């Protein structure tokens, strides 16, 4: 008996035996090609197909096929191999190779043979999973009620029940950063309608100096008796009496996006639509119908999108550090912010002041003194954490300029 390595070496050196032109050991019939098949040949085709499925199973489990008879007896008695995964799979496939597709059907139409043939058609013709599943649904309806044709899925072994079942998967929800949230859901995540929950009810104000939007309606999500609702000076000089926005269900969102036409790509001479500008005639927070609504269950899911906390923490943390350390051109508490506070008539102690012909920017309560910045940066510079816990802060902190690299 030769090993596989020896056989491979012999084939590379000597090649295939040139006298072996009729592959009788690889499936070809002993009958010559110019001989007319007898009637018995056609009668035996179903038996050949029946046996071919058993051979496929034996080939797939070569270590089991040689002892198939003994194994099947043990499995039927549930002895010796009740925890052998390959043995259970072998038994399930072997049973499928002998199980008729439906009562009184031709002998060659077994559950396994028809399934293999259908998947072969799918591969040869490049059918999508959706179209293939539709075909299986139709064929299953056309057959008798007692048919064993499986629907689309992946054959999987249940180690607890010791059975083979048809596994299917669904998309429960997406996890992404905020821009990707808008791309996948079809809602606007910037400008006037940036809040996916509030949508058209987003409370936003365009900052004239900062050229950005300010969102100050977040206090309405607090409990009705929360102390922040009555603190006017700390926010926008108003008592918050609003209620949280209604969170739209999947069916309500789908009703809003039906009929929305989206132009894909760029076109010359076409002005980009600004979702926050009423002059464009856009009064909706949705700009496209998400392709995920093609999934029949998508609109029924209570949660469809989640924000990636890692991205949120990093972005918020970066801006907080840059602002507290007053990093030039990167801090959010700049001159334009002070000008907008004056235009909004809030927080007068942070307005720009004139003294001796100079414009002075007041220090915000959260900013650090020079000594505090040095202590803060030195602490990060000397910080030691477990291996692979985080980057080495020593290389990210500049003790001369008291800045932290992005």
DSSP 79-109: -S-TT-HHHHHHHHHHHHHHSBSSTT--TT-
348 in the same domain as 235? no
E strands in 356-402:
358-360, 397-398
Nearest CA to 164 out of 86, 84, 76, 92 is that of 92
pLDDT at 111 over 80: yes
Q: How many CB atoms are closer than 10 A to CB 310?
A: 10
> Of 167, 196, 218, which residue sits at a domain end?
167
Q: Are residues 327 and 405 in the same domain?
A: no
Token output for 99: 């199980």
165-169, 214-218, 305-309, 373-377, range with the lowest pLDDT:
165-169
The residue-averaged pLDDT of 178-199 equals: 87
Same domain for 180 and 247, yes or no, is yes
Element (H, E) at 353: strand 353-355
- What is the Cα–Cα distance from 12 to 20, expressed in whole angstroms? 17
**Both tokens assigned to 187:** 């809602």
pLDDT above 70: residue 282:
no
What pLDDT shows up at residue 275?
46
Q: Which domain holds residue 287?
A: 174-261+277-307
Is residue 311 classed exposed, middle or buried when 0-12, 13-18 and 19+ CB atoms within 10 A define those classes? Answer: middle
Tell me, yes or no, whether 23 lies in a domain: no
| Longest Cα–Cα distance in the chain | 115
Average pLDDT of the chain is 78
Beta-carbon contacts of residue 237 (< 8 Å; ≥ 6 apart): 345, 346
Same domain, 67 and 157: yes
- Does a structural domain hold residue 129? yes
Position with higher pLDDT, 149 vs 258: 258
- Confidence grade of residue 84 (pLDDT, cut at 50, 70, 90): low
Quick check: is 268 in a domain? no
Q: Which of 143-157, 158-172, 266-280 has the lowest mean pLDDT?
A: 266-280
Q: Are 381 and 374 in contact (CB under 8 A)?
A: no
Tally of domains in the chain:
4
Mean pLDDT throughout 113-121? 85
CA distance 228 to 242: 13
Between CA 372 and CA 366 the distance in angstroms is: 11
Domain assignment present for residue 12? The answer is no
Are 129 and 253 contained in the same domain? Answer: no
How large is the average pLDDT for residues 335-353? 89
Q: Match 């600004």 to its residue by tokens.
A: 274
Same domain, residue pair 300 and 312: no
Do 76 and 142 lie in one domain? The reply is yes
181 in the same domain as 160? no
Q: Is residue 124 part of a domain?
A: yes
Task: Give the mean pLDDT of 9-29.
Answer: 72
Residue found under tokens 């206090």: 219
- Say if residue 154 is in the same domain as residue 252: no
Strand pairing report for 305-307 and 174-176: parallel
Q: Residue 354 pairs with which residues in a beta bridge?
A: 359
Hey, how many other C-beta atoms are within 10 angstroms of the C-beta on 264?
6
Q: Give dist(CA 290, CA 353) in Å, integer.
A: 50
Average pLDDT over residues 190-212: 87
**To which residue do tokens 């070809």 refer?**
28
Which among 120, 144, 167 is the end of a domain?
167
Residue 38 lies in a domain: no
CB burial string 145-158: b at 16+ within 10 A, e below:
eebbbbebeeeeee
- How far apart (Å, rounded) are the C-alpha atoms in residues 406 and 403? 10
Other CB atoms closer than 10 Å to residue 112's CB: what's the count? 22
Q: Looking at the predicted structure, is the pLDDT value of residue 402 above 70?
A: yes
- Arithmetic mean of pLDDT, 158-185: 85
Q: Does residue 3 sit within a domain?
A: no
Does residue 22 lie within any of the structural domains?
Answer: no
Per-residue confidence at 1, pLDDT binned at 50, 70, 90? Answer: low
In the chain, % helix, strand, coil (3-state, to 5) comes to 45, 10, 50
**Do 54 and 142 reside in the same domain of the chain?**
yes
Asked if 59 and 154 sit in the same domain, the reply is yes
pLDDT at 393: 78
279 pLDDT above the threshold of 50: no
234 and 293, same domain (yes or no): yes
- Domain final residue pick, 116, 132, 167: 167
Residue 336 structure tokens: 């334009």
């Amino acid at each position: 008996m030769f090993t596989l390595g020896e056989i491979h070496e012999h084939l590379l050196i000597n090649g295939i035996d040139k006298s072996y032109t009729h592959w009788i050991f690889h499936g070809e019939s002993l009958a010559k090609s110019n001989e007319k098949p007898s009637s018995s040949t056609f009668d035996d085709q179903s038996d050949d197909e029946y046996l071919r499925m058993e051979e496929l199973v034996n080939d797939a489990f070569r270590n089991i096929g040689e002892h198939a008879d003994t194994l099947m007896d043990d499995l039927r008695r549930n002895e010796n191999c009740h925890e052998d995964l390959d043995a259970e799979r072998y038994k399930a496939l072997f049973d499928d190779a002998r199980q008729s597709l439906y009562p009184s059907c031709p002998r060659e139409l077994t559950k396994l043979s028809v399934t293999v043939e259908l998947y072969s058609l799918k591969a040869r013709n490049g059918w999508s999973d959706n179209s293939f599943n539709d075909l299986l649904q139709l064929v299953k309806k056309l057959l008798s009620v007692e048919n064993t044709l499986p629907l689309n899925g992946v054959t999987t072994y249940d180690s607890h029940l010791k059975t083979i079942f048809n596994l299917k998967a669904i998309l429960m929800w997406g996890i992404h950063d905020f821009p990707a949230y808008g791309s996948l859901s079809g809602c606007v995540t910037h400008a006037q309608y940036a809040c996916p929950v509030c949508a058209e009810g987003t409370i936003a104000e365009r900052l004239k100096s900062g050229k950005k939007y300010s969102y100050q309606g977040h206090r309405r999500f607090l409990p009705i008796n929360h102390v922040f609702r009555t603190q006017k000076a700390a926010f926008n000089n108003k008592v918050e009496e609003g209620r949280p926005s209604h969170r739209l269900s999947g069916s309500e969102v789908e009703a809003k996006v039906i009929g929305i036409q989206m132009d894909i790509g760029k076109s010359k001479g076409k002005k980009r639509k600004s979702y926050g500008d009423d002059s464009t005639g856009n009064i909706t927070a949705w700009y496209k119908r998400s392709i995920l609504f093609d999934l029949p269950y998508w609109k029924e899911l209570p949660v469809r999108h989640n924000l990636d906390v890692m991205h949120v923490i990093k972005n918020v943390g970066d801006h907080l550090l840059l602002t507290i350390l007053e990093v030039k051109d990167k801090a959010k508490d700049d001159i334009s912010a002070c000008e907008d506070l004056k235009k909004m008539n809030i927080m007068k102690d942070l307005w720009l002041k004139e003294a001796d012909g100079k414009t002075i920017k007041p220090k915000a309560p959260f900013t650090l003194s020079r000594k505090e910045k040095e202590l803060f940066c030195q602490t990060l510079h000397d910080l030691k954490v477990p291996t692979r816990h985080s980057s080495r802060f020593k290389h990210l902190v500049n003790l001369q300029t008291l800045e932290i690299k992005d």
